[in-house]
Amino acid sequence: MENYIIDSVDICVIGAGHAGCEAALASARLGMKTVVFTVSADNIAFMPCNPHIGGSSKGHLVREIDALGGEMGKNIDKTFLQSKMLNTSKGPAVHSLRAQADKLQYSLSMKKILEAEKNITIKQTEVVELICDDINDDGVDEFSNDLHKLGYLKKVKAVRIATGGIYNCRAVIICTGTYLKARCLCGESITYTGPNGMQASNNFSASLESNGIRLRRFKTGTPARLDGNSIDYSKMSIQNGDSPVVPFSFSTDPATVQREQLPCYLTYTNEKTHEIIRKSIDRSPIYSGVIEGVGPRYCPSIEDKVIKFPDHNRHQVFIEPEGTYTNEMYVDGMSSSMPEDVQLEMYRSVKGLENCRIVKNAYAIEYDCLCSGQLSPILEVHSIRGCFCAGQFNGSSGYEEAAAQGLYAAINAVRQLQGKDYITIDRSEGYIGVLIDDLVTKDNQEPYRMMTSRAEYRLLLRQDNADLRLREKGYEAGLISEEEITALRAKREMIKNEIARLKKVKVGASAHIQEFMEKNGSSSLKTACSLAELVCRPELSYDVLREIDPDRPDIPTDVGKQVEIEIRYEGYISRQEAQVEAFKKMEIKKIPSDIDYDQIGSLRIEARQKLKQFRPESIGQASRIGGVNPADISVLLVYLGSKG
């Protein structure tokens, strides 16, 4: 096949899923001529699994994406069917928004957004080759010599598509999701396609490996889609959305998201369901040995749940709508790779699904992705200058994790091309920082899923204050406008001033105050106290205290919420901030990029191997690598100290 040049661009984004969309938009909005490749231009930002955005910890990621200038939060605010704040019975650190999306509308809306960006070209085709130039330390080219010293062996030059066309570029962002050499499994039936029957990418893996990139096989899965007309909802518990709805995006006017919502429904598996699964378990490709890839531990199939948790006599099953203009319903909690006949039998054993009809079978999907230890903290392949990676290709799972990586990788790819310092987010600054650090420093043996328990400083990293934490970084990156950053700074000042005022304003033990306390179920006052002290009482919220606070300024609801949280959790927040200071001291101790670990004789062999593989940039990162223990860190610190 004859090769020919189609175009020369700044950045090629390979894949138009959630990672690819955020990457392409960020690149284009930062002035880069960008082409985004997809196997189907009709399925941009497609949701092959559950069509929802957010959820526990994932809602934090969406808020952070929005704070940095990303699109996911804005798009779900326009296209949700139902919205709910999860974990409200617990503290604010784990509150997380979750919205059921209209799958088709979400995709169409995101496609329209991409099409409107003047610097984006959408190209429906398969990318088959990553073309790189070798970097030689030959003394001829000073720039190449410098890159070689940093550990680069190659630099990105172009990509080739299936028709032979070549796009010259300065950087690529690989966002291939679950499409690389994908195959879908439903019992004994195996189809070599991507998710939902879409074309797989069967040629790109070989090119990546020829460029020294190591790949492995991961697996994920999805439940069946049922005909909603065949479901008896009267046998299930209705699950309604919130009122009022809280938007995902800090830029969305809350009034625009107060609209009619569609209900979801809750039912349960039972012993009959479990017996059907147990008797046919040998026909599951997961247990028969047909599946090679490793699946996500924290999102197990229904057969995994039944086999691994035999003492559970039932499991939750949520029936959720796929869209406004379809009767298809998603069976959340029952993903499977069982044969079709077993699927039909097990779904029909569930209360309310006795006469259900399957529109789309459940299936498992296997795909190629990146082996751990090959990425730098900016999501660039260690050995290839300008080769950035994001999303499920990096070994993660979930739309939100993918979108966060796509945005982060694009920001830093652009800054590399502009010769600017990289934008980084560490573990104390955001869930995105936790996500990136875990992908870069840990040898993840299964698809990585974000959870609140992974964040050490989660009281500081709440979803409600994502703008206060990260919007300045979005402004520095160039994705947040002057108007937005001015509003953010005004908000921060309002919070500070109102906290100071509440600490200063005192109320006495007058009859009026005592009557107020009694009315709200709070103990009476013995002496005068500040309004801030009263805010700390669980039964007396900031809003409730308005009645005895006549001089209260007119401030927005979100500001008042921040004031309440900051006052109530002041002691805990101060303690975490002290922990962050200790963490920062380890993070600022940098490790030279040209360090030779073989010269550090006291390092254990395993530690030396791991440090050479992951190439941490700081002592803090090194300390989080599996196989590197505190004694190894001490040896490393002594060595670095001896080098001045």
371 and 352 share one domain: no
**Cβ neighbours of residue 317 under 8 Å, at least 6 residues apart?**
266, 267, 268, 269, 331, 332, 333, 334, 350
d(CA 98, CA 364): 24
26 and 165 share one domain: yes
- 398: its two tokens: 């979930």
Sign of CA dihedral 113, 114, 120, 124: negative
- DSSP conformation letters of 135-199: ---SSS-HHHHHHHHTT--EEEEEEEETTSEEEE-SEEEE--TT-BT-EEEETTEEE--SGGGPP
Average pLDDT, the chain: 94
Sign of CA dihedral 383, 384, 386, 390: negative
Sign of CA dihedral 353, 358, 364, 369: negative
Helices (H), 257-312: 271-279, 285-288, 302-308
d(CA 458, CA 478): 27
203 and 62 share one domain: yes
Identify the bridge partners of residue 237 per DSSP, sorted by sequence position. 266
Query: What does the pLDDT average to over 440-456?
Result: 92
198 and 56 share one domain: yes
Q: Is residue 189 part of a domain?
A: yes
Query: What does the pLDDT average to over 450-458?
Result: 93
- Domain stops at, among 363, 397, 415: 363
The predicted pLDDT at position 1 comes to 67
CA distance readout (Å), 138 to 141, 142, 149: 7, 9, 12
The predicted pLDDT at position 470 comes to 98
390 and 464 share one domain: yes
CATH number at residue 259: 2.40.30.260
Question: pLDDT tens digit string along 49-85?
Answer: 999 999 999 999 999 999 999 999 999 999 999 999 9
The predicted pLDDT at position 414 comes to 98
Q: Is residue 593 part of a domain?
A: yes
Question: pLDDT tens digit string along 490-510?
Answer: 999 999 999 999 999 999 889
The predicted pLDDT at position 456 comes to 93
The predicted pLDDT at position 389 comes to 98
Identify the bridge partners of residue 449 per DSSP, sorted by sequence position. none
Domain that residue 181 falls in: 4-221+367-477
The predicted pLDDT at position 219 comes to 92
Q: In what order do the strands lie in the sheet with 34-38?
A: 120-124, 34-38, 11-14, 171-174, 387-389
Confidence of residue 140 (pLDDT cuts 50, 70, 90): low
11 and 157 share one domain: yes
Q: Does residue 189 contact residue 111 with C-beta atoms inside 8 Å?
A: no
Question: pLDDT tens digit string along 389-416?
Answer: 999 999 999 999 999 999 999 999 999 9
What's the N-to-C CA distance of the chain in angstroms?
56
pLDDT at 242 over 70: yes
d(CA 609, CA 119): 43
pLDDT at 139 over 70: no
Query: What does the pLDDT average to over 238-247?
Result: 97
The predicted pLDDT at position 137 comes to 65
When divided into structural domains, the chain yields a total of 4
Query: What percentage of the chain reaches a pLDDT higher than 70?
Result: 98
CATH number at residue 518: 1.10.10.1800
Question: pLDDT tens digit string along 92-117?
Answer: 999 999 999 999 999 999 999 999 99
Q: Is residue 376 part of a domain?
A: yes
Query: What does the pLDDT average to over 155-181?
Result: 97
193 and 121 share one domain: yes
75 and 202 share one domain: yes
Q: Is residue 482 part of a domain?
A: no
**Cβ neighbours of residue 563 under 8 Å, at least 6 residues apart?**
495, 498, 499, 502, 535, 542, 555
213 and 246 share one domain: no
d(CA 25, CA 75): 13
CA distance readout (Å), 144 to 21, 150, 169, 321, 388: 32, 10, 17, 54, 19
The predicted pLDDT at position 211 comes to 97
Q: Characterize the bridge pairing of strands 506-507 and 363-370.
A: unpaired
Q: Is residue 613 part of a domain?
A: yes
The predicted pLDDT at position 546 comes to 95
542 and 497 share one domain: yes
CATH number at residue 22: 3.50.50.60
Query: What percentage of the chain reaches a pLDDT higher than 90?
Result: 87
Question: Does residue 244 have a cis peptide bond before it, meaning omega lies within 30 degrees of 0?
Answer: yes
Strand ranges (E), 55-153 = 80-86, 96-101, 120-124, 127-134
Query: What does the pLDDT average to over 266-294?
Result: 89
Half-sphere exposure of 232 (CA within 13 A, CB side): 11
pLDDT at 189 over 80: yes
The predicted pLDDT at position 290 comes to 80
Confidence of residue 136 (pLDDT cuts 50, 70, 90): confident
The predicted pLDDT at position 289 comes to 77
The predicted pLDDT at position 24 comes to 98
Helices 58-68 and 466-477: crossing angle, nearest 10°? 40
200 and 52 share one domain: yes
CATH number at residue 606: 1.10.150.570
Q: Which residue has the tokens 């959408």?
A: 122
pTM of the entire structure?
A: 0.95
d(CA 435, CA 68): 15
Confidence of residue 142 (pLDDT cuts 50, 70, 90): confident
Q: Is residue 270 part of a domain?
A: yes
Number of Cβ within a 10 Å radius of residue 119: 18
Number of Cβ within a 10 Å radius of residue 128: 19
Number of Cβ within a 10 Å radius of residue 507: 19
- Domain stops at, among 311, 335, 363: 363
Query: What does the pLDDT average to over 438-465?
Result: 94
Q: Does residue 178 contact residue 195 with C-beta atoms inside 8 Å?
A: yes
Q: Is residue 485 part of a domain?
A: no
Half-sphere exposure of 584 (CA within 13 A, CB side): 10
Which of 197, 175, 174 is CA-nearest to residue 184?
A: 197
99 and 157 share one domain: yes
Q: Is residue 595 part of a domain?
A: yes
pLDDT at 226 over 90: yes
Q: Does residue 78 contact residue 248 with C-beta atoms inside 8 Å?
A: no
Query: What does the pLDDT average to over 371-381?
Result: 96
How much of the chain is helix, strand and coil, in % rounded to 5?
A: 40, 20, 40
Query: What is the distance of C-alpha 328 from the center of its chain?
Result: 26
d(CA 566, CA 564): 6
- Domain stops at, among 314, 330, 363: 363
d(CA 194, CA 217): 14
CA distance readout (Å), 201 to 180, 207, 286: 5, 12, 23
φ, ψ for residue 344, nearest 5 deg:
-60, -40
Question: pLDDT tens digit string along 567-613?
Answer: 999 999 999 999 999 899 889 899 998 899 998 988 999 999 999 99
